[in-house]
C-alpha cells in the first residue's frame, strides 16, 4: 500500500469512526438527561426495542451513511471505512478479554477467604459512615463485645463567627455526630432508651442496654468499616467483583483514614468474568476481624419458653422491660406454625404476671400520656396471653390502669 493509499485508508476509517460516535451520542443524550435508574427504565422501555431491532434499523443506517460518505472516493478509503467495523469489534473483544484476565489476576485469595489470619482483637472504637445504630448491625456488635463503642461519622457543625470576624480554622479529620456504647444497671433506667430496649430484648438480651455516648467530636484512633450495601462504589475495586457483598476495614489515626486492614469480597467480576466468593454477613466479617466468637443472639434463641421467662424475670429492676420486645421474644420459643396453647407451672405464671406488671405500671399515675401508654402495654400483654395460653389466659391477664389508681393491681 502506497503512502497515498494509506492516507485514504485512514480517512475512510475515521469517517466510519465519526459516524458511529455520532450515533452513540444520539442514543446517549436521552439517557444522560434522565440518568440513574430512570435512565435505565427509559432505555428498556423506549430504546430497548430499537436495540433489539438493530439488524433492521441501526445497521442499515450505518451502512448507508458509510456508503454515501465514501462512494466517490478511491478503493483505499472505501476499504478503510469498511475495515473499521471488524477491526473495532476485534479490538473490543481483545481488550475485554485482557481486562477480564487482569481482573482475575488481581483477585487476592485473601478477599475470598472467610477468615482473617491476624485478628486485631476487641475494637475500642468502630466508625460507621452516616447511619443510625438501629439501621446497622451496631447493636449486635456492642452486645457480643466485638466493639466497645460505635461512632457514626457525619458533617461537622457549621460555625458562624460574629459579624466582621473570620471563622476559626477547622481541624482536618472525621467528625463524629453520634456514638453508642453498652450500658448496664442505672444507665439503662433512663427515659430515652425505649428503642434500645425493644431492639435487643426482642432478641433475648435483658441484662444490658445501648446508651448514647459522646457526640460532635473529632474522631481519634478507631477502626472504620464500610460495606457494599451503603457504599458500593466507594468500596469496590476497579478490577474487583461488583455487588453489595463487600466489607472493608481501615485503620483511622488522628482522624485520618489509613490503609486497609482487611477486605472480604463476593460478587461478579467485571468485563464478563464469573462469580467469585461465597456470600457472607457483615457480622461474620466483624467477628473474624475482632476474633470474638460470642453470639449472644444465637444463644438466646436456644432457650425454651420457661427459661426465657426466668431470664426476663431476673432482669426486673435492672433494666426497663419493654413488653413488645418481651412478647416478640417469647413468641419465638414455640415451634414455627404451632397453635397449641402452652401450659405453665405456678412459678412461671407468677413470674409472667410480674413481668407484665413491671412493664406496664405507669411511672406517674397522674399523667394521662403515661396512663394511655400503660393501657396499650397491658393490651399488648393480654393479647399475647390469650394467644399463647388459651384456658389459662384469665388468670394471667392484667386489668387496664386508670388515672385514679396508683398501680396496676394483680389478680
The per-residue DSSP string of 239-251 comes to TS-BSS-EEEEEE
Most confident of 259-268, 307-316, 336-345: 307-316
SS3 218: strand
Alpha-carbon dihedral 391, 394, 400, 406, rounded to 10 degrees: -140
pLDDT attached to residue 12:
66
Q: List all residues 6 or more positions away from 176 whose beta carbon is below 8 Å from its beta carbon.
A: 127, 151, 152, 153, 154, 214, 215, 216, 217, 218, 219
In 3-state terms, the chain is what percent helix, strand and coil (to 5)? 50, 15, 35
Q: What is the pLDDT of residues 207-230, one digit of tens each?
A: 998 888 877 787 888 888 887 666
Question: Which three three-digit cell numbers place residue 265?
Answer: 469480597
Question: Which three three-digit cell numbers place residue 341?
Answer: 396453647
CA angle 179, 183, 187 (to 5 degrees): 105
pLDDT attached to residue 65:
59
CA angle 99, 112, 296 (to 5 degrees): 150
pLDDT of 199 > 50? The answer is: yes
pLDDT of 67 > 60? The answer is: no
Contact assessment for residue 305 and residue 342, using Cβ atoms and an 8 Å cutoff? yes
Of the candidates 138, 139, 140, 142, the one whose C-alpha atom is nearest the C-alpha of residue 152 is 138
pLDDT of 410 > 50? The answer is: no
Lowest average pLDDT, out of 141-145, 253-257, 302-306, 395-399, goes to 253-257
pLDDT attached to residue 351:
93
Q: What is the pLDDT of residues 75-111, one digit of tens each?
A: 655 655 566 567 677 676 676 666 666 656 556 777 7
Instruction: Tell me the mean pLDDT in the region 138-166.
Output: 77
pLDDT of 172 > 70? The answer is: no
Instruction: Tell me the mean pLDDT in the region 232-261.
Output: 81
Whole-angstrom Cα distance, residue 66 to residue 375? Answer: 80
Instruction: Tell me the mean pLDDT in the region 149-178.
Output: 68
Please state whether beta strands 246-253 and 222-227 pair in parallel, antiparallel, or not at all (unpaired): antiparallel
SS3 6: helix
Q: What is the pLDDT of residues 273-310, one digit of tens each?
A: 778 878 888 889 999 999 998 999 999 999 999 999 99
Mean pLDDT, the chain, integer: 75
pLDDT attached to residue 148:
92
Instruction: Tell me the mean pLDDT in the region 325-330.
Output: 92
* Domain limits, the chain: 3-105, 112-157+171-290, 303-396
User: How many C-beta atoms lie closer than 10 Å to residue 358's C-beta?
Assistant: 17
Instruction: Tell me the mean pLDDT in the region 136-149.
Output: 90
pLDDT attached to residue 298:
93
pLDDT of 340 > 70? The answer is: no
Output the pTM of the full model.
0.68
Of the candidates 235, 229, 209, 215, the one whose C-alpha atom is nearest the C-alpha of residue 152 is 215
Most confident of 113-122, 211-220, 238-247, 360-369: 113-122
Q: What percent of the chain has pLDDT over 90?
A: 18
Amino acid at each position: 500500500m502506497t503512502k497515498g493509499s494509506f492516507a485514504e485508508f485512514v480517512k475512510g476509517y475515521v469517517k466510519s469512526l465519526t459516524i458511529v460516535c455520532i450515533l452513540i451520542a444520539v442514543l446517549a443524550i436521552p439517557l444522560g438527561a434522565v440518568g440513574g435508574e430512570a435512565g435505565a427504565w427509559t432505555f428498556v422501555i423506549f430504546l430497548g426495542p430499537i436495540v433489539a431491532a438493530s439488524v433492521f434499523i441501526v445497521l442499515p443506517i450505518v451502512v448507508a451513511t458509510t456508503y454515501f460518505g465514501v462512494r466517490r472516493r478511491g478503493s483505499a478509503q472505501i476499504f478503510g471505512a469498511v475495515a473499521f467495523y471488524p477491526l473495532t469489534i476485534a479490538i473490543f473483544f481483545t481488550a475485554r478479554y485482557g481486562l477480564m484476565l487482569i481482573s482475575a489476576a488481581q483477585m487476592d485469595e485473601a478477599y475470598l477467604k472467610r477468615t482473617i489470619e491476624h485478628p486485631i482483637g476487641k475494637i475500642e472504637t468502630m466508625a460507621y459512615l452516616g447511619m443510625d445504630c438501629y439501621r446497622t448491625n451496631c447493636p449486635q456488635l456492642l452486645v457480643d463485645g466485638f466493639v466497645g463503642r460505635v461512632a457514626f461519622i457525619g458533617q461537622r457543625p457549621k460555625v458562624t463567627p460574629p459579624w466582621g470576624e473570620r471563622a476559626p480554622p477547622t481541624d482536618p479529620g472525621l467528625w463524629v455526630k453520634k456514638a453508642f456504647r453498652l450500658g448496664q444497671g442505672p444507665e439503662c433506667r433512663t427515659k430515652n432508651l425505649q428503642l434500645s430496649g425493644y431492639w435487643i430484648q426482642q432478641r433475648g438480651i435483658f441484662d444490658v442496654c445501648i446508651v448514647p455516648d459522646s457526640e460532635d467530636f473529632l474522631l481519634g484512633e478507631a477502626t472504620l468499616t464500610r460495606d457494599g450495601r451503603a457504599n458500593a462504589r466507594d468500596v469496590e475495586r476497579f478490577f474487583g467483583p461488583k455487588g453489595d457483598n463487600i466489607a472493608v476495614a481501615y485503620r483511622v489515626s488522628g482522624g485520618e483514614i489509613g490503609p486497609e486492614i482487611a477486605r472480604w469480597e463476593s460478587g461478579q467480576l467485571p468485563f464478563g468474568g464469573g462469580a467469585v466468593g461465597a456470600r457472607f454477613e457483615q457480622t461474620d466479617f466483624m467477628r473474624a476481624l475482632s476474633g470474638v466468637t460470642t453470639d449472644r443472639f444465637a444463644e438466646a434463641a436456644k432457650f425454651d419458653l420457661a427459661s426465657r421467662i426466668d431470664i426476663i424475670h431476673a432482669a426486673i429492676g435492672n433494666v426497663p422491660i419493654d413488653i413488645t420486645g418481651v412478647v416478640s421474644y417469647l413468641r419465638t420459643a414455640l415451634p414455627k406454625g404451632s397453635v397449641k396453647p402452652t401450659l405453665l407451672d405456678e412459678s412461671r405464671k407468677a413470674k409472667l404476671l410480674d413481668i407484665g406488671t413491671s412493664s406496664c405500671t405507669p411511672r406517674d399515675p397522674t399523667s394521662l400520656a403515661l396512663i394511655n401508654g400503660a393501657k396499650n402495654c397491658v393490651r399488648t400483654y393480654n393479647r399475647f396471653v390469650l394467644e399463647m395460653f388459651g384456658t389459662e389466659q384469665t388468670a394471667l391477664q392484667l386489668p387496664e390502669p386508670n388515672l385514679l389508681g396508683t398501680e396496676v393491681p394483680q389478680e
